[in-house]
């Protein structure tokens, strides 16, 4: 029998009425003949409450204890959904991470799934039993302690379970009805995509399209698990298909550009007249890395006399002040004339696997943005995406311009 994983997030299981609605979605798939594993998050708000208690008890809480406390949220919903399914006449049982087990690293609070033994879930299927799996949690086997995967970890649980039991697909039910060409709140003409390639989704997730956790997309790509993003608020009797995230070979009509993402949480730092000598890049970037500051776009412009350069890069907006302080402290060691910074900048990215086989995709964007009077502060490109850094006030204009330029507007 074909197997299916269905995942429901916190807003979808926020109360008993919604849990019953989730049960109806599961019922539909059971009646369609699937062996179903359902992965659930904690009721919305519960995880925040539990985290708040840990922080109240100690700002420097032990992450192992944090995990024991926070994992309880998914335990509750797994049991409640099993009860709701049974009430509808569907055999079901809850599975905690340690019962399956879902084996993880001991990086408490952000553990990594290292392996899942799917055999007990499959035994349950042989008894026609729906498996209700507590998401977000696992066990570090050597110590026997509870672990959690970090925020959004239930997506990762779902994809990993799907890989472990050889599921035909993994359906991620969420509060949006799929993946869009860009944020519909900014571009009303944004379209829901029928299909997105794993690589594209990975870039979109990394760039701030918060539909799926990055790690879950990585896992889906590695294990080739076709993954749907779809709405849990659809009528269970008449659900919409959502967006399929799949291998690029399964996308027949490839667009050059699939989506436009943007990230507002950016700040730009420019160091003027940096001495062009060996080791200078290390002198700049090692202290930032040591302070856990994630440097993104880096552009180096060599001066006319080739003896000094201007160096521009971006950091997360939240780290802007800290990064400047660190650099000022190393000013003599690095050797730069002045430091300029801007926190009112935004990174706009166009993503599409079609870029691999099409030249000049980015160049068209530079021209279109220039035509609208938008100044580009920095550019980076990779195989399937390019990004430009611009002044924040042009965000909406730039996103709409690129959305139209690449033919993404809804008819």
When binding is defined by CB under 8 A, the residue of 5, 6, 40, 82 that contacts a second copy is 82
Q: Is 26 in the site for a second copy (CB under 8 A)?
A: no
Task: Check residue 80 for interaction with a second copy (CB under 8 A).
Answer: yes
Stretch that binds a second copy, among 85-93, 165-173, 242-250, 399-407 (CB under 8 A): 85-93
Total residues in contact with a second copy, by rule CB under 8 A? 39
Q: Does 78 bind a second copy (CB under 8 A)?
A: yes
Contact 6, 12 (CB under 8 A): no
Q: Which residues contact 322 (CB under 8 A, 6 or more apart)?
A: 291, 293
Decide if residue 123 touches a second copy (CB under 8 A). Answer: no
- Minimum CB–partner distance for residue 227 and a second copy (Å): 27
The pair of three-digit structure tokens given for residue 278, joined into one six-digit string: 């060996």
Q: What are phi and psi of 196, to 5 degrees?
A: -135, 140
Binding part of the chain for a second copy, among 46-54, 111-119, 177-185, 232-240 by CB under 8 A, reads 46-54
Closer to a second copy by Cβ: residue 90 or 369: 90
Answer yes or no whether residue 61 interacts with a second copy by CB under 8 A. Answer: yes
For a second copy, which stretch binds (CB under 8 A), given 72-80, 158-166, 254-262, 391-399? Answer: 72-80
Measured CA to CA, the distance from residue 205 to residue 142 in angstroms comes to 32
Using CB under 8 A as the criterion, what x/- string covers residues 126-165 for binding a second copy? Answer: ------------------xxx-------------------
CB 144 → a second copy: shortest distance, Å?
Answer: 6
Peptide bond into 225 cis (omega under 30): no
Are the C-beta atoms of 281 and 312 separated by less than 8 Å?
no
How would DSSP label each residue in 169-199?
Answer: EEEEEESSSS-BSS-TTT-TT--B-SEEEHH
Q: Quick one: 31 or 56, whose CB is closer to a second copy?
A: 56
Q: At closest approach, how far in Å is the CB of 160 from a second copy?
A: 20
- The Cα–Cα gap between 36 and 33 comes to 9
How many other CB atoms are there within 10 angstroms of residue 317's CB atom? 18
Q: What share of the chain is helix, strand, coil (3-state, %, to 5)?
A: 40, 25, 35
Nearer to a second copy, 146 or 327 (CB): 146
Q: Is 69 in the site for a second copy (CB under 8 A)?
A: yes
Between CA 271 and CA 366 the distance in angstroms is 24
83 is a site residue for a second copy (CB under 8 A)? yes
Closest CA to 369 of 346, 341, 342: 346
Asked if 66 touches a second copy (CB under 8 A), the answer is yes
**One of 68, 298, 299, 392 touching a second copy (CB under 8 A):** 68
CA distances for 261 relative to 16, 51, 103, 180, 226, angstroms = 35, 30, 34, 10, 22
Question: Is 49 or 194 the residue whose CB approaches a second copy more closely?
Answer: 49
* Residue linked to tokens 């379209």: 191
The footprint of a second copy (CB under 8 A) covers 16, 19-20, 50, 53-54, 56-58, 60-62, 64-69, 71-73, 75-76, 78-80, 82-84, 86-87, 93-94, 96, 98-99, 144-146
């Amino acid at each position: 029998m074909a197997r299916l994983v269905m995942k429901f997030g916190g807003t979808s299981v926020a109360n008993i009425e919604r849990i019953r609605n989730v049960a109806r979605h599961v019922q539909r798939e059971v009646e369609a003949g699937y062996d179903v594993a359902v992965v659930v998050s904690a009721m919305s708000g519960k995880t925040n409450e539990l985290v708040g208690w840990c922080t109240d008890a100690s700002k420097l809480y032990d992450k192992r204890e944090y995990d024991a406390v926070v994992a309880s949220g998914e335990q509750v919903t797994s049991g409640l959904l099993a009860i709701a399914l049974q009430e509808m006449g569907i055999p079901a049982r809850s599975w905690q991470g340690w019962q399956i087990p879902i084996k993880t690293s001991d990086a408490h609070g952000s553990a990594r799934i290292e392996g899942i033994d799917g055999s007990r879930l499959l035994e349950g299927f042989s008894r026609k039993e729906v498996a209700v799996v507590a998401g977000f949690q696992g066990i570090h086997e050597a110590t026997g302690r509870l672990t959690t995967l970090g925020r959004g970890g239930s997506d990762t649980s779902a994809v990993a379970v799907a890989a472990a039991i050889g599921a035909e697909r993994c359906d991620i039910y969420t509060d949006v009805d799929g993946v869009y060409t860009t944020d519909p709140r900014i571009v009303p003409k944004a379209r829901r995509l029928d299909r997105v390639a794993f690589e594209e989704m990975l870039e979109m997730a990394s760039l701030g399209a918060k539909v799926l956790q990055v790690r879950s997309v990585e896992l889906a790509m590695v294990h080739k698990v076709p993954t749907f993003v779809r709405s849990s608020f659809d009528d269970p009797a008449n659900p919409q298909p959502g967006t399929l995230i799949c291998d690029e070979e399964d996308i027949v009509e490839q667009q050059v550009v699939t989506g436009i993402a943007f990230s507002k949480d950016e700040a730009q730092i420019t160091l003027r007249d940096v001495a062009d000598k060996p080791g200078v890049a290390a002198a700049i970037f090692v202290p930032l890395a040591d302070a856990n500051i994630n440097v993104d776009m880096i552009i180096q412009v060599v001066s006319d006399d080739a003896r000094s350069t201007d160096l521009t890069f971006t950091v997360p907006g939240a780290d802007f002040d800290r990064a400047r302080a660190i650099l000022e402290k190393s000013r003599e060691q690095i050797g730069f004339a002045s430091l300029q910074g801007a926190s009112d900048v935004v990174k706009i990215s166009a993503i599409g696997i079609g870029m691999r086989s099409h030249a000049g995709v980015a160049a068209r964007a530079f021209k279109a943005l220039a035509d609208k009077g938008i100044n580009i502060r920095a550019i980076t490109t990779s195989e399937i995406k390019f990004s430009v850094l611009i002044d924040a006030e042009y965000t909406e204009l730039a996103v709409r311009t690129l959305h139209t330029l690449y033919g993404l507007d809804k008819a």
